A and B are shown apart, each in its own frame.
Chain A
């Protein structure tokens, strides 16, 4: 067998083997790899490269070596999933740098961080004043995570005592002009509904690049033909607007009439509408 054919065959086999090994080892991001995973990744690649270009080496040795390295990395990964102690050893532990607003100098020294390094990491997290930080921890990956003091945290709806309407994830039901059945079923809708909705908006399915359904069942479309403008769904906004209008009308009647009985009736119903608007507003916005 000529050498070049041998090299081609070896390459193809090793690529396949390497691909499956890496796949079985799990798809972590490179920065999240612990020390064992990094080393075994490099060695696996090295063995593959070495044996691809050297046709005089035994190919079975290559497979054997790769298999051993793969098994080692695989076992350590599975073991570290089971036991916290092994995980601490392989992945490393996180180190607290700032606790209760105070810098832990010992820990800084242990990790080899100078004040400048700490300040730089804090600035990466948009914290320019150490006194704004309640808690900061250095993760094993070398990333610093920061918890600002209560008053420096971004405001949330909880802080404002606003109860938001629950929001489910939107489903992508049309991609590249094809109906995607599974997401459609997730939104408990069917193709017939989709066709009717497309007809309502006066577009054909071939022209739709992307279609998404939100949790209220409203369809948003993006077309291939950007000259056609699709109306944005405004059903819910319209409903809310007509409720508000009705309430305002009733208020007006109550003001306009002189009959105390009628005034009382309009006022009563105006309040009912107001209550209705208050209840529906979070959902219809």
Chain B
């Protein structure tokens, strides 16, 4: 597994975490938990976008491994 694909796996996990948080947000009735999820979701989103830039960067560096 190249570094690029490893980072991409991590990116996918982040996406799945975001979806999981959304699911929890929809299924809970607790206002407290909802706000915490909102905050956390924002953090994950920023991290995901940041990582996306890195993926583009890696792909540019070694186009032969681009997937």
Contact = CB atoms under 8 A, between A and B. Distances in A.
B62 interface: no
A91 to B, nearest CB: 40
A215 B29 CA distance: 8
Contacts of A275: 43
Contacts of B56: none
Interface string B29-43: 110110011011001
Given A239-B21, A253-B6, A269-B51, A165 B28 contact: no
B28 A242 contact: no
Nearest to B57: A262
Contacts of B21: 239, 280
Most buried by A among B29, B32, B53: B29
A168 B54 CA distance: 42
Nearest to B20: A239
Contacts of A166: 30, 32-33
A246 interface: yes
Interface string A252-273: 0100110000100110110011
B10 A283 contact: no
A236 to B, nearest CB: 7
Interface string A213-257: 001110000000000000000011011001101100110010011
Interface string A166-186: 101000000000000000000
Given A242-B17, A243-B17, A216 B39 contact: no
Given A265-B54, A269-B51, A283-B33, A246 B24 contact: no
Contacts of B23: 235
A184 to B, nearest CB: 13
Given A216-B27, A217-B27, A283-B33, A269 B20 contact: no
Nearest to B40: A276
B51 A216 contact: no
B32 to A, nearest CB: 6
Nearest to B13: A246
Interface string B50-67: 110110010000000000
B13 A245 contact: yes
A256 B2 CA distance: 12
Interface string B1-24: 001001101100110110011011
A283 B27 contact: no
A276 B36 CA distance: 9
A140 B44 CA distance: 59
A158 interface: no
In the A-B complex, list the 6 residue pairs whose CB atoms are closest, starting with the nearest: A217-B27, A269-B47, A239-B20, A272-B47, A249-B10, A276-B40
Given A215-B29, A242-B13, 20 more contacts: A165-B32, A166-B32, A168-B30, A216-B24, A236-B24, A242-B16, A242-B20, A243-B17, A245-B13, A249-B13, A250-B10, A265-B50, A265-B54, A266-B54, A269-B47, A272-B44, A273-B47, A279-B39, A280-B36, A280-B37
6 contacts: A166-B33, A256-B3, A262-B54, A262-B57, A269-B47, A273-B43
